[in-house]
A and B are shown apart, each in its own frame.
Chain A
Amino acid sequence: MSAIPAIAAAPIGRRVSTLRTAAAAALVVLAIPAIALLSGRAGIAPDFAARLLPPALAHPFGTDPLGRDMLFRTIKGLALSLQVGLVASLLSVLIATALALLGATSRWADEVVGFLVETVMGLPHIVLLILIAFALGGGTGAVIVAVAVTHWPRLTRILRAEILQLRSADYVRISRRFGKSWFWIGRRHMLPHLLPQMLVGLLLLFPHAILHEAALSFLGFGIEPARPAIGILLNEAMGYLLAGRWWLGLFPGLCLVGLVLCFDAIGNGARAMLDPRASED
């Protein structure tokens, strides 16, 4: 007797699986600062009896030349990256929104904003970042400013396009003929449409901000060497790689990539949730 083929389980919708992945990624992201806060001085206090230990049960990521646990150093580094990323991304979104709104006020302002967007987009990112961070004298504040003032152009373009579309929408024209000011229309009619774009923009900016913060710190233009930033950890690991201490660089690097992928997943989830056109996927 031939076997009856099993009926396949109903496939989970793409949207549902995207949202599940996003929720899991959000949990990971929220766990990082929690662990960093609760772990006290683990990964900061040196322990000279445990220098340069390879990964083992007691120290899953190994220890560094001062005997500090690399797992906690990595988590604290990621938490610092999140802080810098959050402030820098928020600033970037504010700049993008302000410029997009400014561009909507007149043709002349629109051309100036367009010119700024193209100029910043045309310059190599990392060069601009280094120049700004260097000019500001390095440190956490300088990194935040450098990342914030280099990451707004893409979102500015998206918001500008959205505003142009809203401005010619019938309900906005009607509101104008009801005698409402552009300020009133911007607040009541446009903002509810722009907020989701700003939120998704913020989430998608995060990974860029984190990666560039790490790059700046790695190159020595960023966060103070005494703080456990991922870029600093990677920089310190450089000197030991040829000596066979591979764990110093591998785990922080992998975790950084993991964090970036988490934000990608959250950004995709947010887009799936906020875009009604994606609801059928």
Chain B
Amino acid sequence: MLEARALGFAHPEGPPLFTDATLAIAPGEIVGLHGPSGIGKSTLGRLLSGHLAPGWGAVLLDGAPLRMAGFCPVQYLGQSPMHMVNPRWRVGAILSEASAPEPKTLAALGIAEGWSARYPHELSGGQLQRVAIARALAPGLRFLVADEISTMLDAITQAEIWAFLTRLAAERGIGILAISHDRALLEAVATRTLEFREIALGP
């Protein structure tokens, strides 16, 4: 179980973005998080995956604070895959940064062998997003924060990626937090959808 307990965050010398975000995700569950742009959804996602340190409250994994050493069981996937990979690395190196990717995973995501020698700017956004997903699927993974991962992609790629993630949740019991401002998408993929305003900003 991945939990956010009364999480709050403020940028240095800025007003708090939110002060009381509370949610829980069970293994194998796809939870949607909906809200308008700029409200703090991404920040909440980054807090949950340890990319940012919370100002208040705590992130709990099975009741214990999220460990900051070693491979983090909660991984973050962002909207722009170009920023998620080092532009000076080849795709092969990117894919095996956390652990050697399983051939089965690569095949399921449609990642071709020939991409390994290419640089990120030689792939399309959709291809690169699939690379970023494959990279995160290391053995220790238990939860994924998918922050607007399909916003920049065409409808077919979007459908393929979400079909893969839905299978991942069902087969491996990976819990997924799907963050989006697109209600229709969340209703299609998520088992339940939370409203950011309600879980983070209080009544």
Task: Check B84–A179 contact: CB distance below 8 A.
Answer: no
Task: Check B83–A171 contact: CB distance below 8 A.
Answer: yes
* CB-based nearest A residue for B86: A171
Contacts of A108 in B (CB 8 A): none
Check A179/B69 contact, CB under 8 A, given A171-B84, A171-B86, A189-B86.
Answer: yes
Is A193 in the interface zone, CB < 8 Å from B? yes
CB distance from B141 to the nearest CB of A (A): 10
Please tell me which one of the listed residues A175, A178, A179, A192 contacts residue B88 in the complex, with CB atoms under 8 A apart: A192
Task: Check B85–A171 contact: CB distance below 8 A.
Answer: yes
CB distance from B55 to the nearest CB of A (A): 17
Is A107 in the interface zone, CB < 8 Å from B? no
User: Which A170-222 residues sit within 8 Å CB-CB of chain B?
Assistant: 170-171, 173-175, 177-180, 189, 192-193
Task: Check B71–A179 contact: CB distance below 8 A.
Answer: yes
CB distance from B102 to the nearest CB of A (A): 16
The answer for the CA separation of A178 and B70 in the assembled complex, in Å, is 6
Is A169 in the interface zone, CB < 8 Å from B? yes
Contacts of B71 in A (CB 8 A): 177-179
Task: Check A174–B84 contact: CB distance below 8 A.
Answer: yes
Task: Check B84–A193 contact: CB distance below 8 A.
Answer: no
Contacts of A170 in B (CB 8 A): 51, 78, 83-84
Chain A 155-178 near chain B by CB (<8 Å), digits 1 or 0: 000000000000001110111011
CB distance from A185 to the nearest CB of B (A): 10
Total contacts A-B at CB 8 Å: 41
- Chain B contributes a number of interface residues (CB within 8 A of A) equal to 20
Task: Check A178–B83 contact: CB distance below 8 A.
Answer: no
Contacts of A173 in B (CB 8 A): 51, 76
Task: Check B70–A179 contact: CB distance below 8 A.
Answer: yes
CB distance from A122 to the nearest CB of B (A): 28
Task: Check B70–A174 contact: CB distance below 8 A.
Answer: no
Among A173, A174, A175, A179, find the residue whose CB has the most chain B CB atoms closer than 10 A: A174
The answer for the CA separation of A177 and B144 in the assembled complex, in Å, is 12
Contacts of B49 in A (CB 8 A): 177
* CB-based nearest A residue for B120: A171
User: Which B47-93 residues sit within 8 Å CB-CB of chain A?
Assistant: 49-51, 69-72, 74-76, 78, 83-86, 88-89
Check A175/B70 contact, CB under 8 A, given A170-B78, A193-B88.
Answer: no
Chain B 146-185 near chain A by CB (<8 Å), digits 1 or 0: 0000000000000000000000000000000000000000
Contacts of A189 in B (CB 8 A): 86
The answer for the CA separation of A134 and B157 in the assembled complex, in Å, is 69
The answer for the CA separation of A193 and B87 in the assembled complex, in Å, is 9
Task: Check A177–B75 contact: CB distance below 8 A.
Answer: yes
Task: Check B138–A178 contact: CB distance below 8 A.
Answer: yes
* CB-based nearest A residue for B71: A179
* CB-based nearest B residue for A189: B86
The answer for the CA separation of A1 and B86 in the assembled complex, in Å, is 63
Please tell me which one of the listed residues A174, A180, A192, A193 contacts residue B76 in the complex, with CB atoms under 8 A apart: A174
Contacts of A169 in B (CB 8 A): 83, 86
The answer for the CA separation of A174 and B138 in the assembled complex, in Å, is 13
Task: Check A178–B84 contact: CB distance below 8 A.
Answer: no
Contacts of A171 in B (CB 8 A): 83-86
Check A178/B72 contact, CB under 8 A, given A170-B78, A173-B51.
Answer: yes
| Interface, chain A (partner B; CB < 8 A) | 169-171, 173-175, 177-180, 189, 192-193
Besides A175-B97, A177-B49, 17 more A-B contacts (Cβ < 8 Å) are A169-B86, A170-B51, A170-B78, A170-B83, A170-B84, A171-B85, A173-B76, A174-B84, A177-B50, A177-B72, A177-B74, A178-B138, A179-B69, A179-B70, A179-B71, A179-B72, A189-B86
24 contacts between A and B (CB under 8 A): A169-B83, A169-B86, A170-B83, A170-B84, A171-B84, A171-B85, A171-B86, A173-B51, A174-B51, A174-B76, A177-B49, A177-B51, A177-B71, A177-B72, A177-B75, A177-B76, A178-B71, A178-B72, A178-B98, A179-B69, A180-B97, A189-B86, A192-B86, A192-B88
